[in-house]
Structure 1
Amino acid sequence: MKTKRILATALALAMALSLAACGQKEQTPAEGESSGGSENKTVHLWATGSDNVRQIFETLTEDFNGNTEANQGYQVELNFLLSGTGAQTLPDMLAAAYKANQTGTDYDLIDMGGDDLSKIVSLMGTDGFVALDKAKIPNSSKVSAESADAAEFCQPYRGTTVVLAYNSKNVTDVPTTTDELYQWIEDHPGRFAYNTPGTGGAGDSFVRTTVYNYIDDEAAMTSDDPAWMDQWDQGFAKLAELHPFMYQSGGSVVYPNKNQGALDLLAQGEIDMCPMWADMLLSQRAAGTVPEYVKMATIEPSFTGSVQSLMIPNFGSNEAGAYVFIDYMLSDEAQETLVKQMAAIPLVDVSGMDMTGYEDLKDLDVSNFRILSIGDLGTDFNERWDNEIGSLG
């Protein structure tokens, strides 16, 4: 009996110790949280875009996480929203968290540019973001480019622009101005195409610049004020005038779906010219899916381009780690990865990089890009295109 009492006491003591240990474990901060002086080591990065953007971020976060010198002990977790697949956009999600006064969220670092940046500034201003301390981003001293919106809160890390892609075997007199381009389209019926606006930024850029080239005030290009809609008429009339000269299939004008649809037509010889993202053209040419004779050129006034930037929400939970990753993105290593895997326009000196196959990027000066960021007006714009141009048949 005495032995049984001893065993029972031992078991009771063991159970008590086990429960105490469980209680301690429950109080231990979850991964990515900080408490009681422990340092938060997980950085939650949020980005959105097409699949090539997802792929490059997966590569870069993996490289960062495996580079102990660069990551300083931090690890980045990527949260990616594929464009056009979610009911709620990243700007909507951020604005909802901010307006609900949430703190300590997983929105540690976000990738923003173009309409998304314009939209988030429209939805919540800049009060929800950290004014960046460039002393905490040593590599930022190598970058002179600035964001068109909220520059104090944005760190640009790559450039992107739409160019004129053309078949150099068939096009020897390449247009250098928009007027020359419009004349070329009319002189070569069926040999030009642009993708449906709303399905890709190259087509968006062509139609928007066509319309906004007829608006004298440059402020319109970065405004979401509905008052500018009254000045769209002349540009839409030009798009209607160009419509009969676009690519045709089965006797009817066809606007290809997505950027890739237009690039495929060019690569297959169905057309001789189209607007296209420089990075898409160059990366696919390097991969051999686009012929070497497909070249690119810029025109005046140019199509749109922009810089993509990283921002730190002040309602996140790891500002220190976010700064470390931003600095890594401006390193020569990360910039060369962006060039080689995405054909992104680097924002640092490329003299020490191997630019073989991407020499065309050297001639693209981000300081000359035309920014066209109209936020929610883009939805109204695309609806008007659908109703007035896409329905022409």
Structure 2
Amino acid sequence: MMKNCKIVSCGKKTAVMALAVSVGAMLMTGCSTSASASGSTASAGKPVVTVWAGGSDNVRVQFEKQIQQFNASQDQYTAELQFITSGTGAQGLFERVVAAKKAGQTDTDYDVIELGGDEVTKYVDEGGEDFFVPLDKSKIPNIDTLQVESTFRNDLVMPYRGTTVVLAYNSETVENPPETAEELYQWIKEHPGRFAYNTPSSGGAGGSFVTTSIYNFMDESALTSSDPANKEQWGQGFELLKELHPYMYKSSGKVVYPNKNQGTLDLLANKEVDMIPAWADMAITQMKQGTLPESIKITQIDPSFTGSPVVLGIPSIGSDQDGAYAFLNYMLTPEAQNIALDSMAAIPVIDFGLLDQELTKTIEDLKIEEFRIGSLGNLGTELYEEWDSQIGTLE
């Protein structure tokens, strides 16, 4: 649900009214491009906990349902959502909150933020070691049910759902999908124009395809390192991507890399391609909704594409740490986990025995123990920029 954006929700108790105009304008943009959702209003006199997230629409729907339940389940706090939809051209959450931190802001409405487990080092590298509040786990009693750890900095962030990229394919035309990365690359060459991946900077599914294509030639430990020296080993992977380039999906006779994760899913749904890398949660959700044909299936290859826990952190510049802890604790309840599983096929992070068993059937084919974590920090951005330069410019 949409809500009018007030000054209070972009700086709640901010004491830095004299900030530079450019920073102020940037932060106000966060209001004009984000959505709020809550089960009650701040006028009830309860402290407001603002939760910031971004991405595809299924993430927004999940948070809106969880926040509505959080607000109905207790009477101490009111949670509100600020959501930045990907692909809108709006400034991203990372840029906004880091800019606020660098500008010296305190007591802002960045109470809780969602981020990929692979982004933690990026936030700390840019925002400082004190960017996040070190988690006091005694204030998150439900953390005892947590079954996974964050990719990095378990002391700073808490996983609340898992996600991974899988291979989605049309079973009508692909009877025996590839089982390994090498088999996938061979399939692409043998079926020109029938495979697509989105530009890596526009979505994580294409980003995972690019990352694994390059890092499969490197030591596995490099996948969780931001060491710039690893760039020296990218050459073999980029040669592979150049080799595969002529066999990618074409439109009007030219290779096209779709925009966003949804771009490739649309091609698959319309049967313009037979196979793509896709986020498991997006593919499963759209299969359930019927927006992907019944012939679409998903599978994992070896070595697998990357994924990671999606985590919540409490920025040190937020204004309500107690409320933030209450929200984090709620997100580990079976009720919150069931909402994530039901609304977006998210992989739960607590004991499956605590969850709705009918809902867990939707992800029973995923081999969670084989999930592969990737976390490159700022190196990931450089990798995508290198793809833009080396691959995105090819004809």
* TM-score tier after normalising by the smaller chain length: 0.7 to 0.9
User: Do residues 206 (structure 1) and 195 (structure 2) align?
Assistant: no
Where do residues 268-347 of structure 1 align in structure 2 (5 Å cutoff)? Answer: 268-347=270-349
Determine the structure 2 residue equivalent to 1:192.
Answer: 195
Report the equivalent of 1:64. 70
- Contact 1:193–1:274 under 8 Å retained in 2: yes
Question: For residue 20 of structure 1, what is the aligned residue in structure 2?
Answer: none
Counterpart amino acid of residue 118 in structure 1: T
Q: Which amino acid aligns with 2:86?
A: S
The structure with the largest alpha-carbon Rg is 1
Counterpart CA distance in 1 for 2:366 and 2:124 is 27
Question: Structure 1 residue 145 and structure 2 residue 151: aligned?
Answer: no
CA deviations on 1:352-385 (whole Å, 9 max, x unpaired) are 5445576352343555422222233333322322
1:246 aligns with 2:248: yes
The match for 1:80 among 59, 64, 83 is 83
Distance of 1:267 and 1:125 partners within structure 2:
43
Q: How many Å separate the matches in 1 of 2:392 and 2:89?
A: 24
Question: Equivalents in 1 of 2:107, 2:391: separation in Å?
Answer: 47
CA contact (8 A) 2:143 2:332 kept: yes
Which residue is 1:24 aligned to?
none
State the AA in 1 paired with 2:50: H
Flag the 1:266–1:179 CA change in 2: closer, same or farther, 3 A.
same
Distance 2:109 2:118 in 1: 23
What CA distance in whole angstroms lies between the structure 2 residues aligned with 1:355 and 1:248? 42
In 2, Cα distance between equivalents of 1:179 and 1:378: 23
CA deviations 1:147-189 (Å, max 9, x no partner) are 1121111110000110001112222222111111111112222
1:55 counterpart letter in structure 2: V
Tell me, yes or no, if the aligned pair for 1:167 and 1:295 is still in contact at 8 Å.
yes
| Residue 126 of structure 2 corresponds to residue 123 of structure 1 | yes
Report the more deviating stretch, 287-296 or 372-381. Answer: 372-381
Gaps of 5+ in 2: 1-10, 14-44
Aligned residues of 2:123 and 2:131 also touching (Cα < 8 A): no
Alignment size in residue pairs: 355
* Alpha-carbon distance in structure 2 between the residues aligned to 1:110 and 1:151: 15
Q: Which amino acid aligns with 2:215?
A: Y
Counterpart among 173, 176, 180 of residue 183 in structure 2: 180
What CA deviation, in whole Å up to 9, does each residue of 1:90-109 have, x standing for no partner?
33333344344443222221
CA drift at 1:57: 1.4
Amino acid at match of 1:214: F
Q: 1:362 to 1:347 in 2, by over 3 A?
A: farther
Q: Secondary structure of 1:320's match?
A: helix
The aligned amino acid for 1:390 is G
SS of residue in 1 equivalent to 2:66? helix
**Conserved 8 A contact 1:157-1:347:** yes
How far apart in 2 are the matches of 1:247 and 1:84?
Answer: 21
After superposition, the Cα gap between the structure-2 partners of 1:209 and 1:131, relative to the gap in structure 1 and judged at 3 Å, is: same
Calculate the TM-score normalised by the size of structure 2: 0.83
CA deviations over 1:213-255 (Å, ceiling 9, x no partner): 1122x34323333332221111010011111222223332222
Tell me if the contact between 2:147 and 2:351 (Cα under 8 Å) persists in the aligned partners: no
1:293 Cα deviation after fit: 2.0
Q: Deviations over 1:3-22 (max 9, x none)?
A: xxxxxxxxxxxxxxxxxxxx
Q: Segments of 4+ in structure 1 off by > 6 A?
A: none
Q: Which residue of 1 aligns with 2:7?
A: none
Asked whether the 8 Å contact 1:196–1:257 carries over to 2, the reply is yes
- Indicate if the aligned counterparts of 1:282 and 1:358 stay in contact, CA closer than 8 A: no
1:222/1:374 contact within 8 Å kept: yes
Q: Percent identity?
A: 54
Moved more, 180-189 or 116-125: 116-125
* Inter-partner Cα distance in structure 2 for 1:287 and 1:44: 30
- Label 1:258 to 1:313 Cα distance change in 2 as closer, same or farther (>3 A): closer
8 Å CA contact 2:101–2:317 kept in 1: the answer is: yes
Q: Give the Cα separation in 2 of the matches to 1:32 and 1:249.
A: 48
Gaps of 5+ in 1: 1-30, 34-38
Q: SS state of the match for residue 152, structure 1?
A: coil
Moved more, 85-94 or 292-301: 85-94
